[in-house]
A = this chain, B = another copy of it.
């Protein structure tokens, strides 16, 4: 299978998932008092929204870079891609969960762990897809990437999972810490030239 329609479908799913993140931004209902105050009180929603949006945007960029290396894809690759998309599509749910419970006395650690964990699972799904197309089925590539270069890409992907593991574990220290780490990861990858792929992208 050529990768054209795989890209189209993946782009579609990522585009819908990234847009659905905004569905958790709800119009507050006030009877009296200040709307401004009420909107500010929802700040965890905005931070969580921006973090997840940027993260999915970066996943899209990386997904794009990964598929560009392929000439075609096999059944297992298609299924691994579906699994990756499945982990992305739960992000609106886990993001909303973290935002809702962030400043509560009960449940904030669990909510943050689930949210950080969903990013971790997503990064593992990406590594699994990469591992398949880079190692198991190296014949699918459309360019002659040396085994060393393949391992380097895969190692970089795997290293990218580590901060999410930390963010998940630290949820039991503080939910705010989890959110801060996830936001920092997103900003880090958004910065120019910090991603090793940036050069390769062009």
Q: Which residues of B contact A15 (CB under 8 A)?
A: 9, 11-13, 15-16
Which 6 A-B pairs have CB atoms at the shortest separation, nearest pair first? A12-B15, A35-B107, A57-B82, A25-B93, A16-B19, A75-B198
Copies of this chain per assembly? 4
Closest to A54 in B: B82
Give me 30 A-to-B residue pairs in the complex whose CB atoms sit less than 8 angstroms apart, sorted by A's number: A1-B65, A1-B201, A9-B15, A9-B64, A11-B15, A12-B16, A15-B15, A15-B16, A17-B19, A17-B22, A18-B89, A19-B89, A22-B93, A23-B23, A26-B93, A27-B97, A30-B107, A33-B106, A53-B86, A53-B89, A57-B79, A58-B82, A61-B79, A72-B202, A74-B202, A75-B193, A78-B201, A79-B190, A79-B192, A82-B190
A110 at interface by CB-CB < 8 Å: yes
Q: Contacts A19-B20, A22-B90, A61-B78 hold; do A114 and B7 have CB atoms under 8 A apart?
A: no
